[in-house]
Chains A and B, each alone.
Chain A
Amino acid sequence: MSRIVGIDLGTTNSLVAIMNGKEPKVIADREGRTLVPSVISVDEQGWMVGERAQQRLMTHPQSTIYSVKRLMGKGLTDVQEERKYFPVSLTEKQPGIIQVELGPYRLTPPELSALILKEVKHRAEEFLRTKVTQAVITVPAYFNDSQRQATKDAGRIAGLDVLRIVNEPTAACLAYGLQKKKQGVIAVYDLGGGTFDISILKVKDGIFEVLATNGNTHLGGDDLDQRLMELVLQEIRVEFGQNLQEDVESIQQIRLGVEKAKRQLSTEEVTEIVISLKQGVVYRRPLKRSELESKVRDLIDLTIGPCRQAMEDAHLSLKEIDEVVLVGGATRMPLVSQLVQEFFQKTPHSELNPDEVVAMGAAVQADILAGGIQNMLLLDVTPLSLGIETMGGVMSVLIPRNSTIPTNAKELFTTFVDGQRSVDIHVYQGERELVKDNRSLARFQLKDLDPLPAGMPRIEVNFTIDANGILHVSAKDLRGGREHSVEVKPSYGLSDDDVLRMIEESFTFAKSDMEARLLIEARNEAATILAHTERALRRAEHLVAPEERGRIQDRIIDLKRSMEENDHRLIRERIEQLDKSTVHLAERLMDSTLQNGLKDKKLSDLP
């Protein structure tokens, strides 16, 4: 039976987990590492993901990318803030679709995320010794429709059937519910690498009902690092008179240096930032925990507003919260748990590994969908209100935020002009009064209406948000009762055709990656054999007849020629031919080596 895996596709790290009997288990690599750094790099041999790609951040910053999640479901204008994080060039393929330039390739964020998904999928396949085709993937609870859709597209491009998109804090709560048997009202505070979520859940007899969720998709550990980087850059300018703002290699050095110091300060009171710059210059600076805290406190304070709003939306007072759970690597900072404790007036829990708990929850949800766990059910909500544009650019809310999903709303549409043949519906997500302040999701067009006097057509449009938090629209002509066609133009992200093309391309990519690797391996092997043979010929000059020597020389020339072609099969063939031609030489050489070797030894020295 094929297994459904749970994947946490994180900003900084990704993980894959499965249900192992009754327990979720995060799959580790041979070295025992569970985290796959969400870093992608490319060279002439092909793509690299994870540790290997991460090592290239400093050596090849222009062909390496990280934090791709920050770009998912966005247009170029949305990521002006983010651009300073990325040493690579970002362009827009068409409005609403970002392209990342990496070496000779230009890829969209879903294609890049698909490379990470393939890596973790591969990891799971090695562990399970079977193909993996179905997955549950987690996203921040506060992700909008476009960001969720982009994640689903990434799954499809990676060859995965994404059975469910689950919200990260909810997944964490499922893991806690299963393993720690937590019940009652639970607040999950999730501060990850790039996003913040707060979710309030009511857990009762196996039902995990989300009451409210809120968050900030532009706030996480990366932003704290950014603060420290600004400090270090400033100090380097003063101390060494160097402006490194545009120096991508040094920026990566600094990024890794401050990140390490930040992590150390979660357990130590004081640490040292050490950064080796170019020309042997070393920047060193002691950093106290209190200093770090004063630099980032305002950022962590930004999480309190969403917590307050979530409590209000859940109609709960702080007294009614039974448990507070911390999720995400950034919650390891003592200042974070301190502020959470101050706000909720309760000691927060983090018994389960905050890096792994989301992936574990995804595996739990995968098992629920597979029919394994039968007494647990997750009822999640949509984080943002869904509405349509009405007269004067006003947002008319159809589905309020924090509605349990799936959910739907019906709206009746008609025409304003006699004979009007189509009606445009512009759908938005957000909490503001005017659509211009909200996020455009898509334009829907009801086409081929019967030409009737204004106001006569009656088209009922059904807006459904599925259990993934993704919108579907269908329309029915109430006069005829027939289904009406709806043309969808997503405002951000890929069309279905784009995704299909990328799935195909990813196969050819994989194939050409493989071809390239085989070619390089064959060339390397040929070079080794050539070196050996040439050396042997020199050493055994007196042992081979001239005509044998000439035959070998010809084979050498043949092999060298084949190495200039791009056909690994031809190289292999020539290697074999050369091998055959040197069998005799090798034998003679072996004999003589043996004799030489024995010359200076006594018999008693031999084993």
Chain B
Amino acid sequence: MSKDLRNPLARARGLGSAKEGVSHWMLQRLTALALVFLTLWFVITVLSLIHADYATARATVAQPWNTVLLIALILTMYRHAVLGLQVVIEDYVHTRWLEVASLVVIKFIAVLAALTGVLAVLRVALGS
């Protein structure tokens, strides 16, 4: 007697849980918690720079702690965004090819945006 409670047809078709739901849920919350602190720090930092000139803005980003927190913000932000957008797409896009295409596109854009942001921060921090 099998302990698998799934319908045999569903199993044959390969449908059912991918067993990734819990880690998706946990990572969404973990990144959310990190972003509470990172985004508030970012807003305060930007507000402190609104009347600053170009050199001051560059010097601020080049401060080691600011560099680290900015890179952490960029990576966490895009990880969180992809998890969230994925759920929205899965809930509302009911045309299968469009759903899959959207899921791929948001991941491509998020990775490119994150890498571009990190490179920009490093260029400022390392002064090249």
Q: Do A and B come from one complex?
A: no
The chain A residues found within 8 Å of chain B, CB to CB, are: none
